[in-house]
Amino acid sequence: MAEQPVSPVPVAPAGLSRRAQRFIETEGIRVRRQGIRRHGDAWIEHGIPVAEIERATAFQDRWGGLALPPAPFYEGGPRILDAGCPEEMSAEGWSFPAGDCRVSMAYSFVIGPDGAFGIAADRWTPLHASTEGWVESLALAAHARRWATTVTRITRKTVDALDLGDFEPVPEVQGVTDSWWRGKDSLIAVYRGEAVGLGAPQCLEAHIYRGLDEWGLHGD
């Protein structure tokens, strides 16, 4: 029996903000996801725990085959969300690939032992507590860029000097190493992942979106 064609229009998974749902369904593309269940027996023979195979399979069922617009950092993030073979990360536990990079990078995108979305560089560095958080951050960046009157990029020590006293963290992005902050008329995205994961403070960067009204600040 011939395989049914896959609609290129994705349906957003449950549990996301309305802003992220719109982002996925209007700007994302769904391609045929790679089936990983067929690899299960071979992976078990190579000593991969069943629980880790099930974790990768659950990710693939929820996110596999979803292509989203490039992220404003990390050279755009994964080209397509796509689970791969789980691997043991020394003392940290097991992880699995979250999708291939768009360009050649010094790290890969992985899902960590606790489900966090992050990068495996010189060290495992969780960026967001979940894939949902990563997707929410992409949606918020696209929304803020569309509605801000100015966007300013700052780096290195200027980022550390940011005064965030009047800002509140944006909870839906589930920031760990990276974070988003909401003020009275601006949003700030802080990208620390490369600086931490590569031990490269020169990679520290933040984007400041100014001139936002209530819709621009939330969009939800």
Residue 5: pLDDT over 80: no
Phi, psi of 175 (to 5 degrees): -65, 140
Rounded distance between C-alpha atoms, residue 195 and residue 210, angstroms: 25
The domain limits of the chain are 18-131, 135-218
Whether the Cβ atoms of residue 129 and residue 173 lie closer than 8 Å to each other: no
Higher pLDDT, 91 or 140: 140
- pLDDT per position as a tens digit, 54-76: 999 999 999 999 999 999 999 99
